[in-house]
Amino acid sequence: MRLHHNGRMRILGLLIHSLLIFSALAAEAATLQPFAGTGSEPAAPWRVVGLPKQTKPFTRFSVVSLDGHQALRVEAEHSYGNLVHPLSLAQPPHHLAWDWRVEEPIPAADIHTRSGEDIAMKVCALWDMPIDQVPFIERQLLRVARSQAGEALPAATVCYIWDPHLPIGTEATSPFTGRVRYIVLRGPDEALHHWVHERRDIATDFLRLFGNESHDLPALVGIAVGADSDNTKSHSLGHAAQVQLEP
């Protein structure tokens, strides 16, 4: 399978986006920290990262008060970006919980195509799967990315998404890279402008989605919250709150 330059850059970006925050911080956190800091900027170690040499706009992240929640506002305007929290844990937790909502979805989104792979809200778990378990072509891309970065990169990402068309429970692989898998948690029948609580067994989800490559649960090295609308040249708005790791 041959990949065009834009596809290769997108793949490398998806691999590198978490590392940029890892290398920028002196130490990784042993647990997830709240979004709120001083003012509207998300508190460290949360930090916005994007694609390598990104020239397009970044998705905007800010801390706001909404319906009694101290929430993260996530707005994408023809943009790409993720808010990433690095982790260094003795044992990977099995559950991730959070509240989220979408105010403005992306009607043209289609996660099965490169031209439509945009997401109004996503929460992602970043896993450090051993590179020898990665399929050959993607293993080579991962090695290139690691060589450029000078550090190890997470090799598997599971993103929980809010999709305007697909039914709840749909699972898919990113059209840009097999290193990113999607699970639709909220679909077209979900009402907008209201909070929804989620709690996922992220360990079970990883083993189901990547079980053909790995039979063991690797280290969880980060959590990301994001949205992107660069492929469909559209606008989206959503919020997240109370993102927590649980046993």
Which tens digit of pLDDT belongs to each residue from 25-50? Answer: 434 566 899 999 878 999 999 999 88
CATH number where 23 lies = 2.60.120.260
Residue 97 in this model has a pLDDT that exceeds 70? yes
How does residue 134 score in pLDDT terms, banded at 50, 70 and 90?
confident
Q: How buried is residue 5: exposed, middle or buried, by Cβ count under 10 Å (0-12/13-18/19+)?
A: exposed
pLDDT at 3: 46
Share of the chain residues as helix, strand and coil, in percent rounded to the nearest 5: 20, 40, 45
**Tens of pLDDT, residues 196-222:** 999 999 999 999 999 988 889 999 999
pTM: predicted TM-score of the whole model, two decimal places? 0.87
Q: In the predicted model, what is the mean pLDDT of residues 10-16?
A: 54
Total domain count for the chain? 1
- Which domain range does residue 63 map to? 5-246
How far is 130 from 185, CA to CA, in rounded Å?
28
